[in-house]
Structure 1
C-alpha cells in the first residue's frame, strides 16, 4: 500500500558573519553600548546587537562578549518560532569555531528580545585567537519555522484537451497570414514566416538573421530541389509531422510524425514506393537545412523499406548525408548473403554508389569477404 508524505512545516535558514573592527577602542565604552545589524529572514525584519563589553548579573567580576536578537515585525500567525545559534569564528581558518550557543526562541510582537547570548568572557576572549588585527568575527545562524498551508487536492475530474499546437501552425502555413518571405521552387511559390523557419533551422537562422544576402529578401529561390519535397519540408518545420509517411502509423503508433494536419486529413494512404522516394529526397533536404530530427525520421523510413533495388541508393544517401544508423542497416542487408550481394551489385543504384562513394564500396566488399571467411 502506497504511503504518501505531506510536509506540514519547513525551515528557512540564514547565516551571517558579523565583523567588529577596532576592538581595543571599545575598552572604555559602557556595558550597554552595542553594534547593530539588520537581518531579513522569511520576510521578517530582525536586528542583531553585539555588546563587546557586556556586564551580566552573573559576571559581576568581569565583562563578556554578548549579543541579543530583536524582532522588529508583526508575527503573521500569532508567533514566530526560531532557533538562534552563535559562535566566534576565525576567518583565517586556523582556529575552529568557539563553542556554539544555541537558543530556541519565540517572538510574538515587535521589539521582543531574545535572552542574552554570551559568546565568551572578556579575559578568555582577549587571550583567545579569535581577536586578530584588533577585530573579531561572530557567526549567527537563524532558523525560522515556517508553517505550510494545507495542500489543495488536484482536480481529479479535470480533463485537459490534447495539444493541437501543430494543427494551429499548419493552419498558419496554409492561410499564409503574416507571411514575410516567398520561396520559388521548381516553378512553384510558397509563402512562409522567417521567424518560424529560423527557430527550427540553423541554416534559415543564418540566412534571415545573419549576414547572408537573404537577410532582407522577401523572395528566395531554392535550386536543386523538387517543389513537393520543399512543401513537405515546410510542413515538417511548422508541424513536426511528415504526413507523406502516413502508412507507417500501422507499424509505429507512437511516432509523432504520423499525426495528421488539416490539409491532409482526406489524403489517401501513401504507397510504400512513393514514400521511399520522398524519404530519399527529404533526407537530403533535411541535411541541407540542419533538421536533424527530420533526417532521422527519413532514415527510419528508408531503413524499413530496404530491398535489393533500394539498398545501394540508401547506402549512398547515408554516406553523403552522415546517417550512420542507416548506413549500418544498409550494409548489413547487402552482405547478409552472397545472393543478396550479387543482386545488389547488379543494380543501377550500386553503379551510382561506386561513382559517388568508392571508399564505401571498398569497405562493403571487405566486410563481405570477412563474413565468408
Structure 2
C-alpha cells in the first residue's frame, strides 16, 4: 500500500463579545418615610445613561408584590420608548464593601433582554430588618450601586491578540523612578521629582507654571504652598496614569476633599469630577455643611445638588445646623445659607 504525504495547515480564530459597562449610584434619603408605601408601589429614579442607553431604577420599599413584602426590592428598566431590545447583564448591591465582589460576579450573571415594555427585578436585595441593623443605613439614608454590562455584539478575530494600552503603567513607573526628571516640587517639607512635558500636557496650569509667562527662573525647582505632600503626590499620580491609588474608607472622604481642591487649582477637570462623585457617598450630618461649602467654593454643581438633596428633610437640616461645619458655612458661604433657609420655609 502506498502512502500519501500532505502538508497540514492549522487555522483558527476567536469570537469576541463586545461590551460596554458602568455603574450608577442611587441614594435613598428619608428611608423611614418610604416604608408606608404598600407592597408593589415604587419610587422611580431619574434617568441615567450607561453603555449608550438610558435607564431608570425603581425602588420598592415593601417588595415588588405581597410575596416579597418583607424585602427591599429594586428593578431596572430601559427608559427608551420604542427602542430595539438591548441585551445586558446587571446586578445591584449596597454601595460599599461588596462592590469588588459585585464587579467580579457580573460575568456569571444571565444576559437579559430589555425593552421599553419590561423590567427585571432584584426582589430580595435585603430584608428591612437586615438593612435597618446594617451599617448601610446612616442618617435614614442608604445608597445602592447598580452595575450594567451592555452586550453590543460579537465579532471574530484572529489569534493576534492586542493587549490593553499600558501607557499609564509605564508613565507611572517613570514617575516612581524619577528617571529623566527635570523639575522638582517642594511641598509639605518633601521634594518630588517629575517631568515638565508630562505635566504641561495634562494641565494648562502646570504648562503656564513650567513653560509660560508664569514660570520663575529656570523652573527646575517649584515650591507648592498650602498643600500636603501626599495630596500632591496623588495629583501627580493621576496626571501620569489617569487613575488614583486605593484609599481606605476611613480616610477617603477627607482625602477626596483635599484632592478636589488640588484638582481645581491645577484645572484637572476629570480628577475634580471623580472626587465629586466619591464625596457624594460621604455626605452625612457631620460632613454635609463642610462638603457643601467645598462644593460652592469650587463650583461643583453636582456635589452641591447632592448636598441639597440630603438636607431637604427638615429634621436632617436642623441636625446639620447644630454642627461646627454649619457655622463655617455661614461665615464662608452666606448665600448658600440663604438658599437653605428658603428651601426649608413652607411655600
TM-score range, shorter chain: 0.5 to 0.7
Alignment of structure 1 residues 92-111 onto 2, 5 Å: none
What do you get for the CA RMSD once the two structures are aligned?
1.6
Aligned-pair distance for 1:213? 3.2
For 2:189 and 2:182, locate their aligned partners in 1 and report how far apart those are by CA, in whole Å.
Answer: 19
- The alignment status of 1:339 with 2:315, answered yes or no, reads yes
Question: Counterpart in 2 of 1:17?
Answer: none
Q: Which has the larger radius of gyration?
A: 1
Q: Does 1:299 align with 2:301?
A: no
Aligned residues: 193
Superimposed CA distance per residue, residues 177-232 of structure 1 (whole angstroms, 9 cap, x where no aligned partner):
11000000010110000000000001011111211233622111100001111011
Aligned: 1:364 with 2:340: yes
* CA distance in 1: counterparts of 2:262 and 2:339, whole angstroms: 27
Q: Provide Cα deviations, 1:26-49, integer angstroms capped at 9, x if missing partner.
A: xxxxxxxxxxxxxxxxxxxxxxxx
Is the contact made by 1:181 and 1:191 (CA closer than 8 Å) also made in structure 2? yes
Q: Is the 8 A contact 1:209 1:215 kept in 2?
A: no
Displacement of 1:350 = 0.9
Secondary structure, counterpart of 2:299 in structure 1: coil
Residues 82-138 of structure 1: CA distance to partner in whole angstroms, max 9, x if unpaired? xxxxxxxxxxxxxxxxxxxxxxxxxxxxxxxxxxxxxxxxxxxxxxxxxxxxxxxxx
1:294-341 CA distance string (max 9 Å, x none): 000000010112111111111111111111010011011012x11100
Q: State which of 147, 158, 161 in structure 2 corresponds to 1:159.
A: 161
3-state DSSP class of the match of 1:213? coil
1:321 aligns with 2:321: no
Tell me the distance in 2 between the aligned counterparts of 1:227 and 1:156.
Answer: 48
Which residue of 238, 241, 244 maps to 2:240? Answer: 238
* Distance in 1 between residues matched to 2:342 and 2:157, nearest whole Å: 64
**Are the counterparts in 1 of residues 208 and 215 from structure 2 also a CA contact under 8 Å?**
no
Give matches, 1:39-54, under 5 Å. none
After TM superposition, give the deviation of residue 158 of structure 1 in Å: 2.1
Distance 1:194 1:185 in 2: 16
Residues 312 and 163 of structure 1: CA distance in aligned 2, closer, same or farther (over 3 Å): same
Residue in 2 that maps onto 1:67: none
Unaligned runs of 5+ in 1: 1-152, 247-269
**Mind listing any 5+ residue stretches in structure 2 that lack a counterpart?**
1-154
Where does 1:68-147 land on structure 2 (aligned, <5 Å)?
Answer: none
Shift of 1:272: 2.1
Are 2:201 and 2:207, in contact at CA under 8 Å, matched by a contact in 1? yes
Q: Is the 8 A contact 1:170 1:235 kept in 2?
A: yes
Cα distance in 2 for partners of 1:214, 1:294 equals 26
Partner of 1:7: none
- Give the whole-Å Cα distance in 2 for the aligned partners of 1:291 and 1:361: 28
- Using the size of structure 1 for normalisation, the TM-score is 0.50
> What's 1:201 paired with?
203
Name the structure, 1 or 2, with higher relative contact order (CA <8 Å, separation 6+): 2
The corresponding residue for 1:14 is: none
Q: 2:330 aligns with which of 330, 350, 354?
A: 354
Q: For 1:161, what is the secondary structure of its paired residue?
A: coil
Q: Does 1:168 align with 2:170?
A: yes
CA distance in 2, matches of 1:183, 1:205: 14
Counterpart contact for 1:207–1:215, Cα < 8 Å: no
1:191 match: secondary structure: strand
Q: 1:363 to 1:195 in 2, by over 3 A?
A: same
Instruction: Give the equivalent residue in structure 2 for 1:183.
Output: 185
Q: CA deviation at 1:155?
A: 4.8
Helix, strand or coil at the partner of 1:184: strand
Residue 286 (structure 1) aligns with: 263
Distance 1:215 1:154, change over 3 A: farther
